[in-house]
Amino acid sequence: GPRRSGPQLYCELKRRTRIRTVDGTQEPFSSLGWARLVPPRPLDQIQTPQYRTCAVVTSAGSILNSSLGAEIDSHDAVLRFNSAPTRGFERDVGNKTTLRIINSQIVSRPEHQFSSSPLYRDVALLLWDPAPYSANLTAWFLKPDFDLFSPYVERRRLRPQQPFYVLHPEFIWSLWDLIQDHTQDQIQPNPPSSGFIGIVVMMSLCRDVSVYEFIPSLRRTDLCHYYERYRDNACTLGAYHPLLYEKLLLQRMNQGTPMDLEAKGKLTLRGLRNLSC
């Protein structure tokens, strides 16, 4: 699509994406009684009034030795991803976690110990799975990438007080459409990364969003995650996810300084709610 300026991108994002979760009003979920299973409060009203400042902490290896922990924890809310720990890494990543976005591998693969690990307790959880683009919910329910539905139902029954949502495939794919429409290349037909999904969620919930190490700082490394020894450049540039395109798009929306980007890997983004478009 045509190259849009930063302010135009904000308005496009606001116009075209609305956070949506599976709320039990559509089949097959309505017949399964999900209207009573999901949290009564919609995700975009999880906090009233709105969070003021929010931090998004990616899992990139380049956050090691950043000493960003205190700055990250000074935000009202902090979003982390999948199985990324804080324990033992507080100096660099902080220790506050308000929300965690998890993909369907986390709830279905035994090594993540979803039902017993403290990582997934006392935080709001947002779960997603790469549904088919058609977003036929019945087809998705019968054949998800990884089985997310039974662990979700089980956790809702066990801990009804925990805010725990399943992101709607239409929301995920609306983000893919947006990325595709703002690049010249044909991008791979796979959903955006948890990182991109999480950043847009926080832009909807918060007035200001600081994102750490989505765009790599000068500490850039092929170390995939700060909490593992595994090395692969694809973690930063993408293979399955259109990660490079996600990064180029958000870099155009940065309101922060080049210094912050280089030294902290920090993008500063405005929340969408108070934009006048």
- Report if residue 97 touches ligand NCC, rule: CB under 6 A: no
Burial string for 28-46 (b: 16+ CB within 10 Å, else e) reads ebeeeebeebbbeeebbeb
- Report if residue 210 touches ligand NCC, rule: CB under 6 A: no
- Report if residue 59 touches ligand NCC, rule: CB under 6 A: yes
How many angstroms separate the CA atoms of 125 and 10, rounded?
26
The secondary structure element, H or E, covering residue 116 is none
- Report if residue 105 touches ligand NCC, rule: CB under 6 A: yes
User: At its nearest, how many Å lie between ligand NCC and the CB of residue 66?
Assistant: 13
How many angstroms separate the CA atoms of 198 and 196, rounded?
5
User: At its nearest, how many Å lie between ligand NCC and the CB of residue 169?
Assistant: 15
Q: What's the chain's Rg over C-alpha atoms?
A: 18
Of 17, 66, 210, 236, the one binding ligand NCC by CB under 6 A: 236
- Report if residue 103 touches ligand NCC, rule: CB under 6 A: yes
- Report if residue 86 touches ligand NCC, rule: CB under 6 A: no
Q: CB nearer to ligand NCC: give 77 or 250.
A: 250
How many CB atoms are located within 10 Å of the residue 92 CB?
19
- Report if residue 224 touches ligand NCC, rule: CB under 6 A: yes
Could you please report the per-residue DSSP string of 101-119? EEEHHHHHSGGG-TTT-GG
- Dig out the tokens for 74 from the structure: 């000074």
- Report if residue 235 touches ligand NCC, rule: CB under 6 A: yes
Q: CB nearer to ligand NCC: give 34 or 148.
A: 148
Q: CB nearer to ligand NCC: give 23 or 213.
A: 213
How many angstroms separate the CA atoms of 191 and 172, rounded?
7
CA angle 246/251/256 to nearest 5° reads 145
User: At its nearest, how many Å lie between ligand NCC and the CB of residue 151?
Assistant: 14
User: At its nearest, how many Å lie between ligand NCC and the CB of residue 236?
Assistant: 4
Give the CB-nearest residue to ligand NCC: 195
Strands 51-57 and 206-212: parallel
Using CB under 6 A, count the residues that bind ligand NCC.
20
- Dig out the tokens for 250 from the structure: 């958000």
Say which amino acid occupies 271.
G
Residue ranges in contact with ligand NCC by CB under 6 A: 58-61, 81-83, 103, 105-106, 193-195, 214, 224-225, 235-236, 240-241
